[in-house]
Structure formats: structure tokens, C-alpha cells
Structure 1
Amino acid sequence: MPTAAANQSTIAAISTPPGSGGIGIIRISGDQSLPVLKTLFTPQDPNCTYESHKFHYGHIVHPASGKIIDEILAVYMQTPKSYTREDVVEIHCHGSFLVLQNVLELILEQGVQLAEPGEFTKRAFLNGRIDLTKAEAVIDILSARTRKGVDIAQQQLSGSLYNRIDIIRKSLTHMRALIEVAIDFPDEDIDIIDREQLLKQLDNEVAVPIERLLKNADQGKIYREGISVVITGLPNVGKSSLMNTLLQEERALVTEIPGTTRDTIEECLDIHGMPVRLVDTAGIRDEVGKVEELGIQRAMTLINEADLVLFMLDGSKAVSDGDKQLFHAVQHKPLLAVINKSDLDSECDISSLTPDVNVQQIQISAKHQQGIEGLKHAIFTRVTSGTDQWEEEGCAPNIRHKAALTKAHEACQHIQDALSNNLTTDLIAVDLQECLNHLGDIVGETTTEDILDVIFEQFCLGK
């Protein structure tokens, strides 16, 4: 694992979001944290001892002019009991951006370096306070768009993924030790290695757990990144009304005039903890003006990029040729048929729309908000297959983890083939180490510097 360089520079950054607020926090980390604080801070208590992990009240004062910059609370956290395992100082100012900037500039004038994005968390990782999965969980907490997303990240921060990877790696390490003994004592190979037993152990303790993690990764991606759901249909079938009903606000303009929506409207929605980018599109029809035509072209582009299409029909009317043409244009996508206006007499027979394709249909009334919960459940079930097994296992690997797990699984298959075909222990040892290395990439023990840079560049300043 990469390690923190000796005598690193002291760094500082504003750790709270830009804008006005009651409190703003500046964080400093490194050997010069406390000396810098003593230079700029005038405590109310003249006998202040700067006891670690205790707040101290006073003022930030310009060291040259003696001008008071702000009334603050300061806390010093002595190494190693800090976020970075270095000496850390946090200065709690009033939440004005100008005040924070003035204080930060004074700190930088003392020879402190402005922190790079994610540099505090990177130091926490390099100094052994957290592993790489926990560092990535911090990113997920900061970027989560639903409570479920926060829950997933908190589970990973508490070590759920690391613990599962660690169990697998310990089993592989034990196998590697047996193989190494067999290599050192080749004449005793038959007595040392029971290949059939080793195959069972490899399957139960390595292959199957990795396969479960890979399955959970697909679910985790949905909750981290969300999905795109596009509403499409002919003009006046109720697309904008459905958009407003799902959002519980008048986001889209609704009129009886065909072509009211000429461009796409996008909003975010939380469906059972799954972030959904909901897109209302222009009604697709022939013989339209130039502006509406551009909206229709954009709608088709978004449909092709969508994870799920809600194909809307007017339930009070028979399926038209226009409905059929549009359906054939979008049927290559995962979709749900949404039959609107269920409060009126039904004239819509979906079998005439798609006699050869079994499409799930949901009856709703966007105007009276009927069937909306059923539609939300259908969206959730269609995308997630209705399974939340990952929640029981307590972890959901991200894309980087999935790539490493896939390579580890391939190495595991090579080991199984080598054992089954009675290949030499030297070859088995190589594949075992390769599997260990890929799992080590996940927790950060064998991760290269360039990968680390990519990971920590995703952080905001001050974290």
C-alpha cells in the first residue's frame, strides 16, 4: 500500500460548502497546525493550554495589524487521534464566505499549502486510519441523492465491504501458505495438498462470496448513480400531468393544446430510495413546427439513452396508428405501458398495440392521482428485479470494485482449472497471488498511485 511521505507540508482548506451560513469551518492538517493556530488565535483564556479535542473560544487576529478578523471557536486534535492521524486544527468561524476566505488567506500566509481535493481523506488513507473502501464511502455519502444511498455508504464506511474482502483474502492467504510449503517440499506434495478439499474450499470461501459481491455491485450502481426514466407518448395523453403528479408539484405546463411541451423537462425523484432522473418529453407526432420538431428529436435521443421508458396511452381512446408507430420506435427499450385516464370509460386495448410482445401495463389516473404508488412499485421492480439481497449482506461494491472482483474471479477460475487438471503448484501459486492482488486493489493495499489520484480527485475541497 502507498504510504504517506515523511515531513509532508501542512495543508488547509475551507471544509464547509460555499455560501452564507451560521458556521463555516476551516481545517488544517500537519505538523504546523498548532503553531499556526497559536500565531493567529487570541484565546479568551490567557492561560489556554490548547488541550486536545476541546473547544477554545477567542478571536482570529491579524498578526501584523492586530485587527480582529472574526470571533471563533478553535479545536486542536493531536495526532494520532484525528481524521488524518496528523495534528489537526479546525477553526469554526461565522459562515460568511468573505470571513472564511480572509481567515484562510492568513493561514496560507504562514507557509501552509492549500489542500488539493480529497487530500485530507487521502492522508487518512495513507496514514492507515481508513482503507480505500471507507475512503470511497466518504465520497458516496457526500454525493448520495437518497436516504438509501446514504445508508449504503454508511454501511461501507462501517467496514461491511472491507470485512467481506478480508475474509476472502485470509482464506486465499491460507491456501497460498499450503501451496508454498508444497513448492518447498515437492516430494511431500501428495500429503500436503488435498486437491479435492482445496477445490471445495476455494469454491465455498472464495468463488461463491465473490459472485455474491458481483451480483450486489449491479444493485449498488442503481442506488449510487440512479436511473433515467423517460415519459413518452402522443400529445395530450397526460405525460406532463404524470410528471407533476410524481413530483407532487406543478413542474410541467399542462393544457389541452397539443404540443404544449416542446422541449424536455428533467427532475430528480426518489422511488423507494432509488434516485430517478425523470424526463418529460415532447409529444411525438407528424406535421409539427420547427421548434417542436427539435424537441421531438431530442426526445428520441433521450429515449435511446434511457434505462426505462414509460409509454403512455390515453385509456379513454382506442389505440391509434400513431400509438402503434411510436411503440415500434421505442419497443427496443425496457418499458412499461402506462394507461392514463383510468377514471374514464376504457377504450384502450393494448393487445392491438403489441399482439406479439408481452408488455406490463399499469392503469393510472394522473389527474386524480390514482395508481401512482403502483406505478412507482412497477418502476422499482422492473429496474431492480424486486430484489434487495445486497441489503441483507450489507455491502454494494462500486464500478471500480466490480472490475477488480471480476479479475479476481477469473484468477479463481484459473486456480480451479489448475487444481482439477493436476497442474504444478508453481502455476497455482501464481494465480493465487494474482487473485490476492486484485482483492488488495479494492481495499488499497496494492492500488497504484494513478488510481488513487483518480479516486481522490472526486472529492470536494476541504474533505
Structure 2
Amino acid sequence: MNDDIIVAVATSRLEAAISIIRLSGKDVIAFVQQFFTGKIINKESHTITYGYIKDNGEKIDEVLVNIYRGKRTFTGEEMVEINCHGGVYITNKVVDLCLHHGARLAERGEFSKRAFLNGRIDLSQAEAISDIITAKNSYASSLALKGIQGSISHFIKDLKEDLIQIITQIEVNIDYPEYEDVEELTADKLLPMSTSLIEKMNKIIEDSKNIKLLKEGIQTAIIGKPNVGKSSLLNAMLKEEKAIVTNIAGTTRDVVEGSVTVDGILLNMIDTAGIRETDNIVESLGVEKSKEMIKKADLVLLVIDGSKELDQEDQKLLELTEDTNRIIIINKADLGKKVDLEGIEISAKEQDILALTKEIKKKFNLGLISNQEEYYLTNARQTQLLEKAASSLQIAIDAMKMSIPSDLIVEDLYDSWSCLKEILGEQAKEDLLDELFKRFCIGK
């Protein structure tokens, strides 16, 4: 573990009221005292001191300096934060002074990496720090905050404990078969314990897939025949005129994209070309793209012109999207309803889409995140590792069902346990850590 002094600007490098320069490393308080006029050598931890930053006797800036001592700091080592006046020149001047005295620029995520290596946080909490910075909606920030607080750590540790109980009982019987008071485990005994555990794992995996959609955004395709109001709907949801709207069928020839947050949900909206039979080569290419987007979308918004009766093209679209996660939208409610079909009635032209936003929230069960009893992982790395853990456990369960001796099953159980440990970074490889923390911003 490096204990050299690192420095980085923890705030945005723009003109602002204040700028925070963060330092961490061995004897960093004494290091800063070299060019700070306030007395901090004997100050208690978590105190703020007023003074000036000086360079060869010249005052550079009037600042407040926060000091943090001991192993209960964020990084697990001494830390200092210099609060100087915001501004590119002053901030760079103070950083340059720190470098001149022997500090080095921190790498991306190096403060968080030191916190992890010093045991202040586990890997899931470190990832949550990055997640809260990049959160695009309230659900993503709520997930990240729970991760920082250790929600992932708690339930993964519980899974580990359940698994080690099974492993321990097998190992005791392998190592001490002569002990009469040690119960000999059979498949009948192991199977219920293992089955209960894998059910927990599979539920977390399934819930985590839904959470991923809310965190990264729901790929939403707007589908319909020409001139039913797809582009008007996109514009109403984006609250801008991004798609061209005319009364001429086939106006949208290509995919138009945009993102919108609806009551905290991030929707990655895709307005597709109207789907119909056409001899126009350009329009037909757009139609093929539309059909491709239906397959890729997490949510399909099928738009029907409610002011007209259903025709053959509408019926084809209903059949085409039947097996998708769709919401049927009866548009042009302001013109009266003639279509005999159940769906969400709106007027995209009048931007009356409240009923649609309510249906989207209902469809994706947004009460999941607020439920403290639910468990979920927040990124692909964690989910893949839990899937591997469940896969190894399933192999062990299958072996139990075939009455294979328990001493031959234990290796698969150990593989499962190792995957759970890796989620928390308890046996993470150095190259993996380097790659993970490079995704962080400077100063974090």
C-alpha cells in the first residue's frame, strides 16, 4: 500500500465560490503546515483552521483547512482539505505548490481505492460512490446511497454465512468421521439448506435486472403506423420539438432518439419510422429499423390513432408487439374515440400524457426500491458474480439429487463462496481494481 501524499481538486475546475483541494497520505498534516500560516500540527481531527497559503513568503490565497487524523478518515489515513477561493488560476496555483513540495497528482479514483485497500469500505461501497456521482435520476441516486451505506455488503455477507454453514458441516464430517456426536450429512439434509439459499440468490438476480433498467434507463421504442402521432408523443415527453411533425404520412424516415426523465424514471426514447408496406426505398429502410428496435426495446409504446377505427396495419402491429413489454396508447383523444380497443387514452398534441406516465411507473413496479426488505445489486460485475455463485451452487444441488458423496460436492460450494467474496472485493485482483477505479473521476 502506497502511503505517499496524493493531491487532487475535488470540485469542478470552473469559476465558483470555493474550490476544494484534497490531500491524503502519511504525515500530510505536517506536509501542508509547510506552506499554511494557520497552526494545524496539534489540532484535533475534524477541525477547521483559518489562514493563508504562502509561497516563499508571498500570500497566494486566504483559505480554510480541514484536517482528518487516524484510521477513521475516508481513506483510512491522514487527510487534509484546503478550501480556497474558486477560480482556475488560484486552484492551479495551490495544486502546483503542493506538487512543488513533493506531493503527486492523484490518479482517477485513487482516494476511493485507498479507502478500499485500507479496509474503510468494501468494493461494492466503492462502486456505489462512483454510481452516486453519475446517477441520472432519483432512483439511481437512491440505489447508490444504499450501496454506500452497506446494503449490498449486508446481504452478501448473509449469503456467505448461509453457504459457509453448509460447507463447514461437510468439512467436519470429512475431517472427523469418527466423532459420534457429529451428524453425518446426507443429501436429504444438505438439499433443503442449499435449495433455500439458491432461491434467495435467484430472487436477487431477477430483481437486480429490473433495477438495472431504472438505473441506466429504459430503452423505449415508440411504434405505430404513419401519422398516428408518434413524433408528437416523443416531443411531448421530451418537452421539445426534436421530431418533425406533419400531416404527411412517412415523415419520420429514420430513428430519432432522446432521453427524458418521467417522475424520476429515465426513458431512452426512440421514435421510429411508421411501419407500413411501402415502395419508397428510403422509407422501407426506416421501417426495417423500426422492426429491429422492437426486438431490442425494454418497453414498447404502441401508438394507435383513436379517432379512426382499427385497420389491417393496426392489427399487424398488435400481433407484432404481442409478446413484448408494451403499453397500448390510444392517441388523439381530443378528436374523440372511435377505436374499439383498451389502452391508455392521451392527446400527444395537447401534451396530455399524465395517464401514460402513471402506467409506466406501474408497469415497472417502482415501489421495489423503497422496500427495505428487497435486495438488489447495482451493476453488471456484481450481478455476473452472483450468477456464477448461483451456477456453482446449482451444480452442487444437482449432485446432491444424484446422491453423490458430500465430500465431492464441497468444491462447487467453495467456488460459489469465492464468487460472493469477489463481489465485496475480498479477493479481487490488482488489474481488476485498477480498471474499476479508473472509471472514477479525479479527486474521488
TM-score, normalised via structure 1 length? 0.84
The 10-residue stretch of structure 1 (257-266 or 212-221) with the greater mean CA deviation from structure 2:
257-266
Question: How many Å apart are 1:460 and its aligned residue?
Answer: 0.9
**Alpha-carbon separation, structure 1, partners of 2:301 and 2:13:** 38
Q: 2:417 aligns with which of 416, 422, 436?
A: 436
Residue 195 of structure 2 is aligned to residue 203 of structure 1: yes
Match of 1:83 among 74, 81, 92: 74
Task: Please identify, of 235-244 and 187-196, the stretch whose mean Cα deviation from structure 2 is larger.
Answer: 187-196
The question of whether the paired residues in 2 share the 8 Å contact of 1:120 and 1:462 is answered with: yes
Number of equivalences: 441
1:36 lines up with 2:31 in the alignment: yes
Percent identity for Structure 1 against Structure 2: 37
Q: Name the residue aligned to 1:414.
A: 395
Gaps in structure 1 of 5+ consecutive residues: 351-359
- 1:278 equivalent to 2:259? Answer no
Uncovered stretches (5+) of structure 2, i.e. residues with no partner: none
Q: Is the 8 A contact 1:233 1:313 kept in 2?
A: yes
1:40 partner SS: coil
Residues 118, 461 of structure 1: 8 Å contact kept: yes
Partner secondary structure for residue 395 of structure 1: coil
Does 1:396 pair with 2:367?
A: no
8 Å CA contact 1:140–1:224 kept in 2: the answer is no
Pair 1:395–1:235, CA change in 2 (3 A): same
Q: SS of the counterpart of 1:230?
A: strand
Change (3 A) 1:187 1:424: farther
Q: 1:213 aligns with which of 204, 216, 238?
A: 204
Shift of 1:162: 1.1
CA change 1:415–1:247 in 2 (3 A) is same
**Separation (CA, whole Å) in 2 of partners of 1:123 and 1:409:** 31
Contact 1:131 1:443 in 2 (8 A): yes
Selected match of 1:363 from 345, 355, 358? 345
Give the equivalent residue in structure 1 for 2:429.
448
CA distance in 1, matches of 2:350, 2:226: 19
Matches within 5 A, 1:293-372: 302-303=293-294, 305-319=296-310, 334-349=325-340, 361-370=343-352, 372=353
Q: CA deviation at 1:247?
A: 3.5
User: What per-residue deviation string (whole Å, max 9, x for no partner) do you get for residues 100-155 of structure 1?
Assistant: 22222221222222111111111111100111111111122111111121111112
Q: Distance in 2 between matches of 1:219 and 1:330?
A: 20
Q: Which residues in structure 2 correspond to 1:218-297 (within 5 Å)?
A: 218-249=209-240, 252=243, 254-256=245-247, 264-281=255-272, 283=274, 286=278
1:51 to 19, 44, 54: 44
C-alpha contact 2:6 2:25 (8 A) present in aligned 1? yes
Q: RMSD across aligned C-alpha pairs, in angstroms?
A: 3.1
Structure 2 residue 14 is the aligned partner of structure 1 residue 14? no
SS at match of 2:258: strand
Q: Name which of structure 1's ranges 179-188 and 293-302 shifts more when overlaid on structure 2.
A: 293-302
Matches of 2:403 and 2:170, distance apart in 1 = 13
Distance 1:301 1:13, change over 3 A: farther
Tell whether the 8 Å contact from 2:231 to 2:271 is kept in structure 1 after alignment.
Answer: yes
Give the AA of the match of 1:54. Answer: T
Amino acid of the structure 2 residue aligned with 1:57: Y
CA distance in 2, matches of 1:312, 1:265: 16
Give deviations 1:240-299, integer Å, cap 9, x for gaps: 332233244555554546666566543322234331112334556757697x88877766
Residues 303/103 of structure 1: CA separation in 2 closer, same or farther (3 Å cut): farther
TM-score (norm 2): 0.87
